């Protein structure tokens, strides 16, 4: 065997080349065939469709980032749509939604509708001329203005606008203005849910006096801190200032309103005894660990601030023994300056149209209806629609979250998602952690944020 | 015909490997260098900025290099700290274990135990150490010991402290890699002829003298190979920091190293050009060490 190998080697080299050449030729021929075959095969069905009956409806493609339970919830809406109109829907899921859509647009094959959670990206698509306006021309709008107003509050409608033209319909909304607490613990303390920030301080101090730690933290994940800051800023400034700070940077980070909000933030995070382990503990504890501090089977804290999704995490991951609404519940983030009230901050997904067709229009019109909103809300998903029949939502937390969002007069989109990622998704994280560790240095940190923001837009 | 084959034969054999290297290493390297001269978001060549990315990195990015305070901070400084602390420490631990284990009967058992962490993924090791360091004394063994034996002591948040996070992660890295240095150095130790050591003993050398005057000098080539390997590991270390420091790279980004900054800027912040500039800097830093290693391999092969 070993002796014969040199001889075999001599003949196998040319043979290998020979095989390679044959394979290459085959590949070229095969690809040439598919290239010529593609137009032929794609033209055949369309000819058949135009020549045949019009009863067969075109399948529309919808892309969103929802997978798992979120996908199952949206599938119920799709099923209802297909049952009603006979239009088949091809749902595609992608976590790299915008990258996928950009390549499809560039390749001349845009999807019909996508659900995008980033207003900044929607504005980019709109300015590139990729999107179909939903409120033009007057009288022939895709979404009837009256139906739109019936479904959404002004604040939600406006979030879908790019320079006054409506491109996005907000279909899903999640609140981030929720402080989670344990009703039995609050009752045992003799406290009440706070309405103002001073009430919150008083409650925290009362817990402290009782030998307990009021809040779980989670500041190792910087976005938890930015969400705190956004809620505070929304309560000391106008919605316009809020957007100007994050979206356009017309309001500077050294503005008095920003410094005021940073001051409130520093007070909460700088008061000894408010969080387990103090400042070091805050920046050393991750988001889910923070939930565990307040809601695990051996808790060390009494309350936890983060968005509506915390309820789901408590019930499914942290402690299945706790009962929603009785063992854990939430109250709205309290007011700071009564003049600015308690606006809701949060995130959501907008339906955006890339291709105009009767089928696509039917889908857009359907998701704006009460029927669609009811089906979606019944799954426990957050919807901004005012039309929802609240009685159909069985989960008490989901019901309360829906009421909070749908009744919001002002809904401010997550500011750090609106800002450039280098600022909102990176530098702001470090700056707020810095403030947790150095609560007396508001001026220095505001200046550092401003210096960075100048280079980020 | 045979002369033809003499010319083409070697190339034919090298071709597949060369092609793969060309497509997957050489081309991306030059693409990265080109990208590093461009600004804006994403992987495109729309906005030529020349050397602006490099200038900004080295003069105006406190997360990357901050010389304005003392001691200086930023990813570069952290990497240097790693080099100065981690590299000698991991070699020292490996050397000590190798020399001590050499003397005992249960040597292979002992070396296996030290080597064990090498067998698990770095991310898993990082999670284990997160538990060890947990500020909750019911979870973290260090804080459990601290609060038990030191009355009135407050638990320490090792990964939440700007000052402690780097040493804490370095200890985890030593735990992982000490097995590697132990095994390599132990093998080299076995290669030292017994006659030399016996001769030294006969001449009256003490244990420490044998170690310092004979074993260490004879291990020097191996130690330098291990050191270069560890230096290259340090320059590209990422996984431990990503898991133990969180997606922000430690509190205030204080645990960031160069490779971590490259990831954050490119993928988190979407600034591919800026991230590429970091990658190029990293390449320039690591290049001399790689050349050193290649040279050494050649020398070994030539011997």
Q: Which pLDDT tens digit goes with each residue over A108-132? A: 899 999 999 888 788 878 888 899 9
Among A73-77, A136-140, B293-297, name the most confident range.
A73-77
| B41: CB partners within 8 A, 6+ apart | B270, B271, B272
Residue A421 in contact with partner chain B when CB distance is under 8 A: yes
Which residues of B sit within 8 Å Cβ distance of A?
12, 56, 60, 62-63, 135-136, 138, 154-162, 246-248, 251-253, 264-265, 268-271
Report the residue of B12, B252, B260 to disrupt the A interface, i.e. the one with the largest count of A CBs within 10 Å. B252
Average pLDDT over residues A383-406: 89
Q: Which pLDDT tens digit goes with each residue over B242-301? A: 999 887 888 888 999 999 999 888 877 778 899 999 999 999 988 888 888 788 778 877
pLDDT above 60 for A50:
no
Q: Hey, are the CB atoms on A284 and B270 less than 8 Å from each other?
A: no
Q: Hey, are the CB atoms on B269 and A426 less than 8 Å from each other?
A: yes
Q: Which pLDDT tens digit goes with each residue over A257-279? A: 999 999 999 999 999 999 998 99
Q: Hey, are the CB atoms on A284 and B138 less than 8 Å from each other?
A: no
Q: Are A213 and A301 in contact (CB under 8 A)?
A: yes
**Nearest chain B residue to A451, by CA:** B60
Residue B42 has a pLDDT of 67
**More confident site: A435 or B44:** A435
**Nearest chain A residue to B153, by CA:** A277
Residue count of chain A, please give it. Answer: 457
- CB-CB neighbours of A247 under 10 Å: 18
Report the residue of B133, B269, B273, B278 to disrupt the A interface, i.e. the one with the largest count of A CBs within 10 Å. B269
Q: Are B43 and B51 in contact (CB under 8 A)?
A: no
pTM of the shown model: 0.78
Contacts of A128 in chain B (CB under 8 A): none
Average pLDDT, chain A: 86
Contacts of A14 in chain B (CB under 8 A): none
Q: Which domains does chain B have, with CATH numbers?
A: 43-302 (1.10.3720.10)
Residue B259 has a pLDDT of 93
Taking the CA of residue A431 and the nearest CA in chain B, the distance in Å comes to 7
Q: Comparing A52-56, A77-81, A196-200, B87-91, which segment has the lowest mean pLDDT?
A: A52-56
Rounded CA separation A407/A384 (Å): 8
**More confident site: A301 or A422:** A301
- CB-CB neighbours of B17 under 10 Å: 9
- Using alpha carbons only, give the angle A25, A30, A32 rounded to the nearest 5 degrees: 95
- A51 pLDDT tier (thresholds 50, 70, 90): very low
Residue A394 has a pLDDT of 86
Which among A221, A277, A434 is the nearest to B252, CB-wise? A434
Q: Hey, are the CB atoms on A433 and B252 less than 8 Å from each other?
A: yes
- Is B277 exposed, middle or buried (CB count within 10 Å of its CB: 0-12, 13-18, 19+)? buried
Q: Hey, are the CB atoms on B63 and A430 less than 8 Å from each other?
A: yes
Rounded CA separation A290/A292 (Å): 5
- CB-CB neighbours of A300 under 10 Å: 16
Residue A121 in contact with partner chain B when CB distance is under 8 A: no
| A276: CB partners within 8 A, 6+ apart | A213, A216, A217, A285, A293, A300, A301, B135, B136
Contacts of A425 in chain B (CB under 8 A): 268-269
β A165-166/A161-162 pair status: antiparallel
């Amino acid at each position: 065997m070993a002796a014969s190998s040199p001889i075999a080697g001599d003949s196998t080299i040319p043979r290998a080349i020979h095989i390679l050449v044959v394979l290459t030729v085959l590949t070229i021929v095969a690809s040439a065939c598919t290239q010529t075959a593609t137009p032929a095969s794609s033209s055949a069905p369309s000819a058949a469709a135009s020549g045949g009956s019009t009863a067969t409806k075109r399948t529309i493609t919808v892309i969103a980032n929802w997978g798992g339970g979120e996908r199952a919830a949206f599938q119920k809406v799709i099923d209802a749509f297909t049952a009603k109109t006979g239009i088949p829907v091809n749902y595609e899921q992608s976590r790299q939604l915008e990258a996928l859509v950009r390549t499809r647009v560039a390749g001349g094959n845009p999807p019909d509708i996508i659900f995008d959670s980033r207003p900044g990206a929607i504005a980019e698509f709109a300015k590139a001329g990729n999107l179909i306006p939903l409120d033009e021309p007057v009288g022939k709008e895709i979404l009837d203005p009256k139906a739109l107003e019936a479904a959404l509050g002004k604040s939600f409608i406006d979030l879908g606008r790019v320079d006054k033209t409506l491109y996005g319909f907000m279909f899903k909304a999640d609140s981030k203005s929720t402080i989670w607490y344990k009703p039995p613990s609050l009752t045992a303390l003799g406290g009440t849910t706070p309405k103002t920030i001073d009430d919150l301080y008083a409650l925290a101090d009362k817990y402290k006096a009782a030998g307990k730690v009021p809040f779980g933290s989670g500041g190792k994940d910087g976005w938890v801190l930015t969400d705190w800051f956004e809620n505070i800023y929304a309560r000391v400034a106008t919605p316009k200032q809020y957007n100007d700070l994050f979206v356009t940077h017309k309001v500077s980070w050294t503005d008095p309103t920003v410094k005021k909000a940073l001051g409130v933030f520093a007070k909460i995070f700088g008061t000894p005894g408010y969080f387990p382990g103090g400042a070091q503990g805050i920046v050393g504890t991750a988001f889910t660990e923070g939930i565990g501090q307040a809601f695990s089977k051996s808790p060390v804290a009494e309350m936890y601030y983060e968005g509506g999704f915390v309820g789901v995490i408590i019930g499914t991951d942290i402690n299945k023994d706790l009962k929603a609404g009785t063992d854990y519940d939430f109250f709205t983030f309290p007011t700071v300056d009564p003049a600015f009230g308690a606006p809701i901050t949060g995130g959501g997904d907008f339906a955006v149209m890339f291709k105009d067709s009767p089928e696509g229009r039917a889908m857009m019109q359907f998701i704006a209806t009460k029927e669609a909103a009811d089906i979606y809300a019944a799954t426990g998903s957050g919807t901004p629609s005012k039309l929802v029949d609240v009685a159909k939502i069985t989960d008490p937390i989901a019901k309360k979250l829906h009421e909070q969002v749908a009744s919001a007069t002002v809904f401010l989109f997550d500011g750090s998602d609106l800002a450039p990622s280098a600022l909102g998704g990176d530098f702001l994280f470090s700056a707020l952690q810095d403030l947790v560790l150095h609560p007396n240095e508001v001026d220095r940190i505001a200046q550092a944020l401003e210096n960075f923001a100048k280079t980020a837009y | 015909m045979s002369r033809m084959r003499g010319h083409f034969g070697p190339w034919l054999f090298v071709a597949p490997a060369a092609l793969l290297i060309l497509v997957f290493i050489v081309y991306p390297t030059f693409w990265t260098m080109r990208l590093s001269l461009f600004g804006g978001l994403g992987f495109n060549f729309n906005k030529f900025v020349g050397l602006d990315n490099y200038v900004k990195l080295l003069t105006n990015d406190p997360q990357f290099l901050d010389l304005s305070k003392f001691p200086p901070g930023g990813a570069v400084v952290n990497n240097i700290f790693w080099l100065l602390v981690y590299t000698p420490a991991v070699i020292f631990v490996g050397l000590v274990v190798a020399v001590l284990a050499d003397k005992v009967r249960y040597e292979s058992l002992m070396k296996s135990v030290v080597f064990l962490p090498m067998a698990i993924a770095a991310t898993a090791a990082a999670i284990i150490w997160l538990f060890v360091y947990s500020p909750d004394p019911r979870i973290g063994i260090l804080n459990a010991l601290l609060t038990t034996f030191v009355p009135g002591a407050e638990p320490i948040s090792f990964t939440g402290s700007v000052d402690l996070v780097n040493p804490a992660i370095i200890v985890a890295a030593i735990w992982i890699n000490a097995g590697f240095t132990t095994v390599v150095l132990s093998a080299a130790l076995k290669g030292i002829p017994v006659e030399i050591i016996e001769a030294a003993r006969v001449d009256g050398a003490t244990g420490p003298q044998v170690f310092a005057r004979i074993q260490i000098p004879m291990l020097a080539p191996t130690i330098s190979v291990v050191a270069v390997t560890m230096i290259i590991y340090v320059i590209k270390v990422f996984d431990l920091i990503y898991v133990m420091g969180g997606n922000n790279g430690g509190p205030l980004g204080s645990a960031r190293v160069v490779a971590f900054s490259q990831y954050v800027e490119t993928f988190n912040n979407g600034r591919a050009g800026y991230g590429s500039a970091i990658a190029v800097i990293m390449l320039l830093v690591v290049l001399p060490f790689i050349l050193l290693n290649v040279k050494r391999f050649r020398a070994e092969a030539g011997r």
